[in-house]
Structures are given as C-alpha cells and as structure tokens.
Structure 1
Amino acid sequence: MLATIHDRLRNPDAGVRRIAVIDLPYSDEEDDVAPLLVEALADADASVRLEAAKALEGFEEPEVLDALVPLLKDPDAAVRDAVAYTLAELKEAASATPILPYLLDADAGVRAAALHAVRALRVDAAFEPALQSLTHPDAGVRRAAVGVLGYLKKPQALGALTEIAAHDADPEVRRIAVGALSYAGDNADVSVLPALGRALADPVWQVREEAATTYARTNSQLGVPNLVRAMDDEYWQVRVKAARSLGKLKARDGVLALIEALLHPVSNLRKEAVIALGEIGDSRAIAPLERAMHDPDPDVRKLSKLALTSMQMPKQGA
C-alpha cells in the first residue's frame, strides 16, 4: 500500500518529509494544505522548513503569518532567505504588522530579511527603521533599507539616499541608492542631479550605468551635459544607458554624440543611438540614419528605417 501524504510528512527520514512538503500543494489527498505546511515549518530539519516556507507563498491567513514571521530568526540562513522571499510576495499592507518588530533586530541577517519582506508592502511604519538602517555596518542591511525607502518614495529620504549614493563603501548599495533616486520628481534639480553627476564618475561601472538610467526618470534637462560626457565612457554598457536617457529626454544637445555612436563596434549601442535619434527628431540625424540603413546588423537597419519614418511624419497639430 502506498504511503499517504500524511505518512510521508511524519516519516523519520528528513528527505522523505522534504519531498512530501514539495508534493503537498499538488496532492489530491488534501483540500486545505496550509495547516500541514505550517506544521512543517516547525520541522527539526532545515531543508523541510525551507520547502514549507517556499510553499506558503501567496497565503496571507493570520495563522500562516504567525508561523512564518518568527522564522526570520531561524538559525539557518537559507530558511531565513526563503521566509523573506515568501513574505515579500504579500499583497496586503496589514500583513506587515507582525514583521515590523524585526526591522531593527540586533542580528543583521534577521534585520535585512525583515526589511526585504516589507519592502513592496509600502507601509509608512517601515520608514524610520529603514532610515536608521542606512548607517548599519552590514551592507546587506543597508541594501535592504535602501530598497524600502525606494518603494516608499518619501521626499524626506532623498537627502539620505543622495549621501548613500555618493559615499557608501559598498558599490551595490551605491547602485541601488542611485536607482532609488528616480522617484525624486520635482525635487530632482535641487538634491538629486548633483548626486547623479557624482555617480556618473563612480569607479564602478555598474553604478555609472544606473546613474545614466536614472537621469531619464528625473525628466530634467539639467543632466544632459553629464549624459553627453557619459557617451564617452570606457564601458559600452554605460553608453547604452546614456543614449537611452538622451532619447527619452529628447535632448538635442546629445545629437552629435549619438551620431558618433552609430559607428561604435558594439551593435547594441548603435541600436540605442538610432532609437534615441528617432525620439529626438533632429534633422542633423537624417543623413547619418540613412547611412545606418546599410549597417551590418539587421536590427540597426530596421530601427534606422523606423526612426527616419517617424521623423518625416507630420507633427500632430501642425
């Protein structure tokens, strides 16, 4: 006789219990799997707890949260990460309530996991703990804190985020902070653009790439000179993002740099330059785009034709 799912969940072999937990959501033997998964969260074996935490994604019943949240302090880091991931998929802001006490936990791993868990819930109660966590010695905590502040989009966090973007010792923290500055909106000219300018000179190219991307989201023309200079960056990945931002900002001052990029050996950059020139619509780009219609890359040729077509269409209201 085949063992039932209940038998397997109580098998003395942890490997059998683990597979049973994985199978449980797909089993025809149980209509209500949540109680059994909650029970598995208390298993003595970390691999069983981990699979139970993963399987509970999407459950927001109070009893599930009451069982999951304490596992943010699980001794096994992989279990903590799984719990944080599952909690991060919560949709109801009220679900953050049991997580809030963990946001300033003394253990860096717990604190980072809790911050990650509440990030997408956008609860105001997470703001102050996240702000305090920007100075935590652990880079993982600072990364998670920047993520929370980026989701909350509060103007009063911009000063702290610009400071982190410029001076944090961890390049990934700087990169995330630069990306978080994209919500600045009307405050960008005052506090954010200087920070983005510094980020475009960061020694780590991924930070410069993020800065080039973020410029377009500020909708400010004041960053255009920096983006034009970024078109000479030693990394083509940074140039690609700079080209994209110049196009989105419809920056006519970037036309000559974009025309020059049409000759770059990396086709991805040539494609972005073509798209940007089409978005800007400056007549100086017509002849270079006509030449680009003979580019060795078929995508560049196709995009050049589309760009020229869009530039020659009559403007609405004309």
Structure 2
Amino acid sequence: MTNALFDALLARLQDTDATVRRIAVLDLADLDGEAHVPLLIQALDDPEASVRAEAARALEAFESPASVQNLARLLSDTDEEVRAAAAQSLSELKQPASAAYLVPYIGGSESFVRAAALRGVRELRVAASLAPALDALGDADPLVRREAVAVLGYLKHPEALPALTRILADDASFEVRRAAAGALGYADGAQVGPALLAALKDGAWQVREEAATTLGKLRLAHTPGALVAALDDPFWQVRLRAARSLGRLRSHDALPGLMAALEHTISNLRKEAALALGEIGAPAALGALQAAANDPDPEVRKSVRLAIGQIGAAA
C-alpha cells in the first residue's frame, strides 16, 4: 500500500461522518496484503458500533496475534452486533497458535464470551483447551455447555468420554444432550454404546435422532435391535437416521421395518429406507423395492433403482 493511499484511508477513518468511516473499512477489507491490518484494528475502537462491527468482520480474513487479541476483547463490547461480528470472525480461526489468546476467555465472567471463546478454539484442536472445556461442562448457561461439548468432540480425547456420557444422560438441555450424542462418534463403542442406546429413548426426538446416527457410525454389533425399534419412533426424523444406520450395519433384522418405510408419507424417509435396503443387499427386499419403483418422488425412484441394482450385483 502506497503512502498516499494509506494517508487517504487514514483520513477517511478519522472523518466526522460515521458512514464515511464505515465505507473506508469496507475499502480496506478489499485490499490485498496485510499492510492495512493495523488500520482495521484501529477501527475496532471507533465510537460508532457499525464501524467496529465492519472492522471485526473484515479481520476474519487476517489472522494474526494482534487481530485475534483485539477481536477477543471485542467479545465484551457494549453493542450486540459488534460482539456477534467478533465471535463470528474468531470462529473462523485456522492457526492452532491462535488458541493461546482465546483459552483465557473460556473462564470469562460473561456467558457470551465463554461460549464464543470455546467456539473459537473448537476446530483448532489444541490440548490446552481440554481442561477448560471439561470445566465448562458445569456452566450454568446451556449454550456454553454445548460449545464445550463441541470442543471435546473435536479433541477426541479419551479423558472426556466419562463426562460426555454423563452429559448425554443427565443434562437439562436437550440441545446439550444432542451435542453429546454427536460428540461421542469418535469413541470406542464398548465404552459409550450403553449411553447411546439409552439415548434412543430420550424424551427429546432431537437427541434420539443424533444417537441413532452415532450408533451407525460406531457400527456396534449389538445395536441393530434398538435401531430396528427406532424405525417405529413417533418422529420420522429419528426413523430416517435409524434407517441410515441400519443400512450401514447391514442388518437383516431391519428388513420388515425398512420395507414398511417405503410407504411412509415423508419422501426423505422412503429414500433412506430404499438406500438402506440396497446396502443390506437382501433379495427378500426386491418385491417391496419393485413396488416402489413408481414412487411420485424422483429422488426416491432413483434410490430404489440403485438399491435394486445393488441387490442384483450382490446376488
């Protein structure tokens, strides 16, 4: 960036009109290179919230110790839009070294700050976030607990398994329990299988749906019976995930339930049932699949054709 351009942008950032300053930030965000990043950081202290928010959004593309530290302090900004913009930019961090500037905020006094810090370190997968995330499972705010569960799911650390299974069974928030069911997908099935099977009977269908999905990922030999029962769940979303998992498990016990699902009113469930029958590859399903070949939904018809082809190839 030339000195003349720098001086011109600096002058606009100091203009008395907030609109001029905000447009200057937008122009800065379009520049190549990182020489202008100090100006964006300077704009984070603008008296106008819209300018601070725009600068916070622009810094998403320029990850550095200075940008991370300054975005982190904006998590406590007085303006909601500014806080949200800073949190969003921090959630896009890619460099593990950046976690060092966020981990201290996991213990902050404001729940928004704690949740945003956890979200920011989640995909960085740094060991330093393990202990704070485990502590955050006891937070009073369910949003913080849910973000802590996500961090632990990304870390895939065996030490977190007892806490995650406890959260799955006992947390008061179904969103947190749902997150725990998904986070356990990295585990040794023998350790978490009982907790996931119990979650198939959770009072919230969202938790049952996630548990059915994770059980399929873990491919536990003793789970098909519970998943077959889930094909009769009152919520079609749970039935769909159970069908998908039963296909992965190639469970012949699921054939009657899956064939019945080919006639369900929800086309997405009919499609998943057809795909699952194809994965199982049992000739006994051919009659039901052929009867579904003229389904009114083209995606279902396509899945039925694929399933018939798979069964034929297996035979």
Q: TM-score, normalised by structure 1?
A: 0.91
Report the count of equivalent residues: 309
**Letter aligned with residue 173 of structure 1:** V
Q: 1:85-234 counterparts in 2 under 5 A?
A: 85-184=88-187, 187-190=188-191, 192-234=192-234
Question: 224-233 or 199-208, which moves further after superposition?
Answer: 199-208
Query: Which 5+ residue runs of structure 1 have no aligned equivalent?
Result: none
CA distance in 1, matches of 2:116, 2:298: 46
Report how far residue 127 of structure 1 moved.
Answer: 0.3
Assess if the C-alpha contact under 8 Å between 1:262 and 1:269 holds in 2: yes
**Secondary structure, in 3 states, of the residue corresponding to 1:180?**
helix
Question: Deviations 1:206-253 (Å, cap 9, x if unpaired)?
Answer: 121111111111121222111111111111111111111111121222
Question: Deviations 1:71-115 (Å, cap 9, x if unpaired)?
Answer: 233233432332222122121111111112112112222111111
Q: What is the match of residue 291 of structure 1? A: 291
Assess if the C-alpha contact under 8 Å between 1:11 and 1:17 holds in 2: yes
Which of 25, 42, 52 aligns to 1:39? It is 42
**Secondary structure, in 3 states, of the residue corresponding to 1:99?**
helix
**Letter aligned with residue 189 of structure 2:** A
Q: What is the match of residue 13 of structure 1? A: 17
Assess if the C-alpha contact under 8 Å between 1:46 and 1:76 holds in 2: yes
Question: Deviations 1:152-211 (Å, cap 9, x if unpaired)?
Answer: 011111111111112111111111111111111xx2223x22221222222222121111
CA distance in 2, matches of 1:158, 1:75: 37
CA distance in 2, matches of 1:298, 1:110: 47
Cα separation, partners in 2 of 1:31 and 1:100, compared to 1, 3 Å: closer
Alignment root-mean-square deviation, CA = 1.9
Assess if the C-alpha contact under 8 Å between 1:146 and 1:180 holds in 2: yes
Report how far residue 146 of structure 1 moved.
Answer: 0.8
Cα separation, partners in 2 of 1:314 and 1:236, compared to 1, 3 Å: closer
Q: 1:32-71 counterparts in 2 under 5 A?
A: 32-71=35-74
Report how far residue 37 of structure 1 moved.
Answer: 0.6
**Secondary structure, in 3 states, of the residue corresponding to 2:107?**
coil
Question: 172-181 or 289-298, which moves further after superposition?
Answer: 289-298
Assess if the C-alpha contact under 8 Å between 2:281 and 2:314 holds in 1: no
**Letter aligned with residue 144 of structure 2:** V
Report how far residue 285 of structure 1 moved.
Answer: 0.6
Q: What is the match of residue 3 of structure 2? A: none
The alignment-based identity, stated in percent, is: 52
Assess if the C-alpha contact under 8 Å between 2:91 and 2:116 holds in 1: no
Assess if the C-alpha contact under 8 Å between 1:209 and 1:237 holds in 2: yes
Report how far residue 314 of structure 1 moved.
Answer: 5.1
**Letter aligned with residue 284 of structure 1:** A
Assess if the C-alpha contact under 8 Å between 1:248 and 1:279 holds in 2: yes
Report how far residue 276 of structure 1 moved.
Answer: 0.3
Assess if the C-alpha contact under 8 Å between 1:189 and 1:222 holds in 2: no
CA distance in 1, matches of 2:35, 2:18: 23
